[in-house]
């Protein structure tokens, strides 16, 4: 069963061909990051314009690399949301056009479910149930994956997403956009005990998260140090900040897996590429006899293969979409 998958929710135009939800025949990712960098963040109108210019080229590249043609495709998977409305519309327009033209089913996919499914591609034997921590620039969710397409939400952020906090702190530290990876590499050279930042909800019963107070604490620290004329050691700030985020993420993930009796924790989303997070999870995993899974960096970023995997599990569960499918820029996960 082959799907052609299309992802255009933000600043990556990506298309791929995926077999049976697990095998990637192609996964072409065209990033616009260099274009948006001079604006200090993704400009929605420009992102949408770039998607239109490149989408059919990327689709063809995906088919060529997979060595298949349009007529070999069984159904189309496409990101329905969440994301930038204008950007999503380009991918969805192409998807509808191709699905109708070829007379094959269309499957609208929740982008966040795609991030979870990136792990099915990376780990061929990974099967539910497992606890999954989804952390990206826009989202922070702690969920239980009972089965393919069957999820229970336990925790979510009440304000900023974890990745958003990384980007905002990075900007305040004068690091280039996007800041997450720069914080990660600075943190590895810093002393995480030097500066103590708050860990919100750490001991709370809730599985929810909150990162805006932590972000403010870092900004206050930077401003205060500047005013007092103290030297700011960016490595130590990054290490202290990152550790404050990771402590909460890791603690809650393990607490949920203990409560539910799960023996696997899966990390998904852009922040799953964070080395500090991976190491901390793995160390705790060995101690607690819990398997830790995460995608390779390429599959952590927004990509079509993960949408194709999620599309496959939707499709075999009978979830296809009509041709008047709406984009859902604010589509949430599980509520």
Partner 1 sequence: MKVLGLDTSTLMTTCAIMDEDKLLGEFSLNLDMSHSEALVPMIKSLMDNLKLEMKDMDLFAVSTGPGSFTGLRIGVTTAKSFAHVFDKPIVGVSSLEVLANNILSDKAIVPMMDARRDRVFTAVYKREEDRFREILKPDAIEVMELIKFLRDNIDSAILNGDGCLVYKDTINSEIGEMISFAPGELNLSRGSSVARLGLLKYIRYGSDDYYTLAPDYLRDSQAERNLKLQR
Q: Any idea which residue has 């810093």 for tokens? A: 190
Residue 277, contacted partner among partner 1, Zn ion, none, CB below 5-8 A by kind: none
**Coil vs helix vs strand at 239:** helix
Least distance between Zn ion and beta carbon 136 (Å)? 5
CB of 62 to partner 1, least distance (A): 12
Contacts with Zn ion in 119-158 (CB under 5 A)?
Answer: 136
Look up tokens 């996919």; give the residue: 109
Dihedral (C-alpha) 6, 300, 127, 265: value to the nearest 10 degrees?
A: -150
Q: Among residues 59 and 250, whose Cβ is nearest to partner 1?
A: 59
Looking at the Cβ atoms of 80 and 110, the one nearer to partner 1 is: 80
For residue 311, give both structure tokens: 């599309």
Pairing of strands 264-268, 2-7: unpaired
114 φ, ψ (degrees, to nearest 5): -55, -45
| From partner 1, Zn ion, none, interface partner of 60 (C-beta below 5 to 8 A by class) | partner 1
Residues 6+ away with beta carbon under 8 Å from 144: 129, 130, 131, 132, 151, 152, 154, 256, 260, 262
Nearer to partner 1, 90 or 273 (CB): 90
- Record the tokens describing residue 107, joined without a space: 């499957």
Cis peptide before 178 (omega within 30 of 0): yes
Which of 31/216 has CB closer to Zn ion? Answer: 31
From CA 310, how far away is CA 299, in angstroms rounded?
Answer: 13
Per-residue binder mask for Zn ion (CB under 5 A), 250-289, x = binder: ----------------------------------------
Residue ranges that bind partner 1, judged by CB under 8 A: 38-39, 43, 45-46, 48-49, 51-53, 55-57, 59-60, 70, 85-86, 89-90, 92-94, 96-98, 100-103, 322-327
Footprint on residues 287-316 left by Zn ion (CB under 5 A): 302
Residue 125 binds which entry of Zn ion, partner 1, none, with Cβ cut-offs from 5 to 8 Å by kind?
A: none
Q: How far apart are CA 60 and CA 26, in angstroms?
A: 11
In this structure, the dihedral spanned by the alpha carbons of residues 304, 309, 310 and 313, taken in order and rounded to 10 degrees, is 150
Binds 49, which of partner 1, Zn ion, none (CB < 5 to 8 A, cut-off by type)? partner 1
Rounded to the nearest whole angstrom, what is the least distance from the CB of residue 25 to partner 1 in the complex? Answer: 19
- Residue 102 touches which of partner 1, Zn ion, none (Cβ within 5-8 Å per kind): partner 1
- The residues that touch Zn ion, with contacts defined as CB under 5 A, are 136, 302
């Amino acid at each position: 069963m082959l799907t052609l998958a299309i992802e255009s929710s933000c600043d990556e135009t990506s298309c791929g061909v995926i077999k049976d939800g697990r095998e990637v025949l192609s996964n072409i990712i065209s990033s616009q990051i260099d274009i948006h960098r001079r604006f200090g963040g993704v400009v929605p109108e420009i992102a949408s314009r770039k998607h239109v210019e490149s989408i059919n080229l990327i689709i063809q590249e995906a088919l060529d690399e997979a060595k298949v043609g349009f007529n070999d495709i069984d159904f189309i998977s496409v990101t329905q949301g969440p994301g930038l409305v204008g950007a999503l519309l380009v991918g969805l327009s192409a998807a509808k056009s191709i699905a109708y033209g070829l007379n094959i089913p269309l499957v609208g996919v929740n982008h966040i479910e795609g991030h979870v499914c990136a792990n099915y591609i990376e780990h061929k034997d990974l099967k539910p149930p497992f606890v999954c921590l989804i952390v990206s620039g826009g989202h922070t969710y702690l969920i239980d994956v009972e089965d393919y397409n069957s999820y229970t939400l336990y925790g979510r952020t009440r304000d900023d997403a974890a990745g958003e906090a990384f980007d905002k702190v990075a900007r305040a530290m004068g690091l280039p956009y996007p800041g997450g990876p720069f914080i990660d590499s600075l943190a590895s050279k810093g002393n995480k005990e030097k500066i103590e930042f708050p860990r919100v909800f750490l001991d709370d019963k809730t599985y929810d998260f909150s990162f805006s107070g932590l972000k403010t604490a870092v900004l206050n620290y930077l401003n205060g140090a500047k005013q007092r004329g103290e030297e700011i050691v960016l490595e130590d700030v990054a290490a202290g900040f990152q550790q404050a985020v990771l402590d909460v993420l890791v603690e809650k993930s393990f607490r949920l897996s203990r409560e539910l009796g799960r023996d696997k924790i899966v990390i998904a989303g852009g922040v799953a590429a964070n080395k500090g997070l991976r190491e901390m999870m793995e160390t705790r995993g060995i101690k607690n006899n819990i398997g830790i899974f995460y995608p390779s960096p390429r599959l952590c970023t927004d990509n079509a293969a993960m949408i194709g995997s999620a599309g496959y599990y939707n499709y075999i569960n009978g979830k296809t979409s009509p041709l008047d499918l709406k984009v859902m820029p604010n589509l949430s996960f599980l509520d």
